[in-house]
Structure formats: C-alpha cells, structure tokens
C-alpha cells in the first residue's frame, strides 16, 4: 500500500464498495446497464445514514479524480490522507461487516418465556439481571415481547379492583397489556450490526413502526441466539467505530 498514491487507493476502495453494493442488491454489472453509485448507496440497508452521506460525497470526489488530467499515468487530483483512510474504513465495513450476534456475545442466549409462566419469573429476571424485556414463545415460530411497561400497565389497570393487592398472573395475560411499540422482530443469525441499527431507526422500513427489540434466530429447531434492544444502540454504533 505504501507505493500507491492516495488517488489510486481512493479509487480502489471506491470500486470495491461499488462492486459489493451491486452484488448485495442483485444487480449484474457485466452485460447490463451499470447502476448509478448514488442509487446503490440510497437503496442499501447495510449502510447507516452517516456512511451513506460520506459515500455520496466520495462519489463526487471519485468523478473529479477520474475526469481530471493525468500525469505519468496518475491523476493530478489527489485526495487528502484522512479522506483515503475514511473511505478505506467504510470499505472494510462493507466487505466484512460486523454481525449483530457477535456484537452481543456478552449478553448470552436470552431467556425465552412461555405464556403459561408466572409473571413473577419475569420480574425475578428483571431484578437479578437488570433486564426490562424478554421474548415469549407464543406458538411454534412466533414470539412476542414482554416488557416492564406491560407489567406496569397490567398493575395500574388492576390496582383499583384489587385494593392495592394483586394476585399473580401468567406471562400470557400480561402480554395483553402490551402496546404497539412493544413489537418484537425476528432477524437471521447473519444480520449485520448496520442493518440492525437501520431497523431500530426506521431506516429499513417506512411502512411499520420500528420494533422495540430484535430476536436473533439460530437454525430451525434451535433456541434464539441473542436479544437486542434499543438500549444496545450505543454498543452497536461502537462496532462500526462511531
């Protein structure tokens, strides 16, 4: 790398990113109309907004370098060193993106509840591990999310009727007090950290409210691998060097 100019390094990194985004989006470069770089960036669910903005600027710089005069086979326009380092950093994240599952290794596998479980078992988990939500397997292949907010709504709803003393309830009963924002979304074990960030922020879908948690699934028949919640966002951004 030391004998390469900044311009050559920049163009190589840009080409790597363009090729990978094209592959991800199912476009075939040879023999077909080449998709515009800006469209590839806009349409990607594997880039966070900050990186999309940077890549659009880099696209303009790529054009300036490519269309400038050359001297001894090298472009006269030469990008700054920090610009080259940034596009190479983003290139590395595009080519080998960190996975959500790996970012949450310290969490371990989530405790999965059954609708018939006593809600006290969930509250014990909240107390012992400082969790505020957990997945519930309501039927084969379908999961919902029990939260401390749902418990609070159940408690408030029944407080007057019970005179301040409440019998326990099942997890399934408390789930009926969940709100729309308590949605749980299943994702694959290969889901990237960047895509998870986009899902939480609503960037990955415009027709649904973002979920409160993501359940990282394993192979069929195996228990879920990880549970990611919005409070994990700082950790997820850190995996991208942000």
Closest to 9 measured CA to CA, from 60, 85, 71: 85
Residue 186 in contact with residue 215, Cβ under 8 Å? Answer: yes
Distance between CA atoms of residues 192 and 72, nearest Å: 42
The SS3 assignment for 45 reads: coil
Q: What is the DSSP letter of 44?
A: -
* Cβ-based burial of 25 (10 A; exposed 0-12, middle 13-18, buried ≥19): middle
Helical H segments across 67-202, by residue range: 81-95, 100-103, 119-129, 148-162, 171-175, 193-201
In a domain, 32, yes or no: yes
In a domain, 1, yes or no: no
**What's the pLDDT at 18?**
96
Residue 187 in contact with residue 211, Cβ under 8 Å? Answer: no
Last residue within a domain, chosen from 65, 95, 125: 95
Provide the terminal-to-terminal Cα distance of the chain, rounded to the nearest Å.
25
pLDDT tens for each residue of the chain, 242 residues long: 456 889 889 999 999 999 999 999 986 555 566 789 999 999 999 999 999 999 999 999 998 887 666 555 666 668 899 999 999 999 999 999 999 999 999 988 999 999 999 999 999 999 988 889 999 999 888 999 999 999 999 988 877 666 655 678 999 999 999 988 899 999 999 999 999 999 999 876 667 789 999 999 998 889 999 999 999 999 999 999 98
Instruction: Please check whether residues 146 and 219 belong to one and the same domain.
Output: yes
In a domain, 136, yes or no: yes
Tokens representing 199?
Answer: 């899902």
Domains of the chain: total: 2
Beta bridge partners of 216: 187, 226
Instruction: Please check whether residues 118 and 233 belong to one and the same domain.
Output: yes
In a domain, 46, yes or no: yes
Last residue within a domain, chosen from 52, 73, 95: 95
**What's the pLDDT at 1?**
45
**What's the pLDDT at 19?**
95
**What's the pLDDT at 70?**
59
pTM equals: 0.87
In a domain, 172, yes or no: yes
Last residue within a domain, chosen from 49, 65, 95: 95
**What's the pLDDT at 63?**
87
H/E run at residue 23: helix 6-24
**What's the pLDDT at 48?**
96
**What's the pLDDT at 150?**
94
Residue 217 in contact with residue 224, Cβ under 8 Å? Answer: yes
Structural domain boundaries, residue 134: 101-239
Distance between CA atoms of residues 77 and 156, nearest Å: 66
Collect all residues with Cβ–Cβ distance below 8 Å to 21 and sequence separation of at least 6.
Answer: 37, 40, 41, 44, 46, 94
């Amino acid at each position: 790398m030391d004998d390469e100019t900044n311009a050559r390094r920049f163009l190589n990194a840009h080409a790597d990113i363009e090729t990978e985004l094209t592959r991800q989006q199912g476009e075939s470069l040879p023999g077909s109309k080449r998709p515009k770089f800006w469209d590839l960036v806009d349409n990607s669910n594997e880039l966070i907004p900050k990186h999309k903005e940077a890549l659009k600027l880099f696209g303009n710089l790529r054009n300036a370098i490519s269309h400038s005069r050359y001297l001894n086979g090298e472009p006269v326009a030469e990008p700054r060193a920090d610009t080259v380092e940034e596009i190479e950093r983003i290139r590395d994240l595009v080519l080998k993106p960190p996975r959500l599952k790996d970012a949450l290794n310290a969490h371990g596998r989530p405790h999965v509840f059954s609708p018939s479980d006593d809600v006290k078992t969930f509250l014990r988990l909240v107390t012992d591990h400082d969790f505020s939500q957990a997945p519930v397997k309501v039927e084969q292949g379908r999961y919902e999310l029990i939260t401390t907010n749902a418990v609070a709504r159940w408690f408030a709803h029944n407080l007057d009727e019970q005179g301040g003393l409440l019998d326990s309830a099942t997890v399934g009963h408390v789930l009926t007090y969940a709100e729309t924002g308590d949605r749980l979304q299943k994702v694959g074990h290969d889901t990237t950290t960047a895509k998870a960030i986009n899902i939480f922020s609503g960037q990955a879908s415009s027709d649904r409210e973002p979920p409160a948690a993501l359940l990282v699934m394993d192979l069929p028949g195996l228990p879920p691998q990880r549970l990611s919640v919005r409070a994990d966002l700082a950790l997820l951004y850190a995996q991208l060097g942000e």
